[in-house]
Structure formats: structure tokens, C-alpha cells
Chains A and B, each alone.
Chain A
Amino acid sequence: EIVLTQSPATLSLSPGERATLSCRASQSVSTYLAWYQQKPGQAPRLLISDASNRATGIPARFSGSGSGTDFTLTISSLEPEDFAVYYCQQGSDWLTFGGGTKVDIK
């Protein structure tokens, strides 16, 4: 099983600040890495696929980077609606998710 470790567990920031979320894989997943946003009571929403490919309708302030075992999701300037939980997910082997990073308001 490929284990994904997300850090930090919680990120406390203010609107307008830059958010940097990390996802580390226990072995290489190439670029088969996706990022999702989940708000309370809602299904996850795909933000990024293939490590850096923004999904349809996702604002340009969201960007993904990385390959192999180390990946980053960056939100360039936090909007009020961006405070949520973010998950990474690998698709190199059978799919697994990271434990999530909660971005909350400082």
C-alpha cells in the first residue's frame, strides 16, 4: 500500500495569505497525484489531477507541483471560501488518500 502523509495537519491562516500544503508518498507515484477540497457536509471536489493539471472551473489561485514522492498544493491568496479540508490521493497503484490538511481561519 502506498501511504500518503499530509502536512501540516492544520494550517491557520488569514484571508489573502498564501497556503502551502504538502503531501509525501511512501514510494514514487510519478505524477499520478490528485488534490481535493472538502467542506463540511459536502462531497470532495477535484482541484488538481496529474500533480499539476487544474480541473475545469478551478480558480487559477490553486496550483499543484511535484513528482515522485513529494507534492505541494499552493493557494496563492486565500479567499473566504477556501477554508476547508484538503486531501491528496495517489493513482499509481490502487487508490489511496492522505489524512488531510485542514485550512482554518486564523
Chain B
Amino acid sequence: DIQMTQSPSTLSASVGDRVTITCRASQSISGKLAWYQQKSGKAPKLLIYKASTLDTGVPSRFTGSGSGTEFTLTISSLQPDDFATYYCQQYSSFSTFGQGTKVQVK
């Protein structure tokens, strides 16, 4: 099974900050990586798929990058609506989620 290691688990930041979350796969996943945002009490929402493609309606301040086993999600200028928990998901072999990164107010 492919394991996904996401870091950090918690991130404290301020509005306007640049934020980066990392996801590492235990083996190559050929770019089959998605990022989701989950707000408290809500279902996850797809942000990025194929490692770097923004889903419809997702603000351009979100950027996904990486290949092979190393991937990042960057928020260029954190907005109040972005405080949430973020998960990566590999879909190369069945599916696995990372442990999540909570972005909280500094």
C-alpha cells in the first residue's frame, strides 16, 4: 500500500502569509495527487488534481506542484476563508489520504 506523509500537522499563520504544505508518497504516484480543503463540520472540497490543476472556481492563490513522490500545496497570500484543514490524496493505487494539515490563526 502507498503511504502518504503530510507535513506539518499544524501550521499557524496570519492573513497575507505565504503558506506551504508538503505531501510525500512512499513510492512514485505519477502525479496522481489531489488536494482537498475541509472546514469544520463540512465535507472535504476538491482544490487541486493531477498535482497542479486547479478545480473549477478555486482561487489562483492556491498552487500545487511536485512529481514522483514529493508534492506541495502553496497558498500565496492566506485569506480569512483559507483557515481550514488540508489533505492530500494519492489515487495511483486505490487511494490514500495524508494525515491532514490544520492551518490556524497565528
A and B interact physically: no
Report B's interface with A, CB cutoff 8 A: none
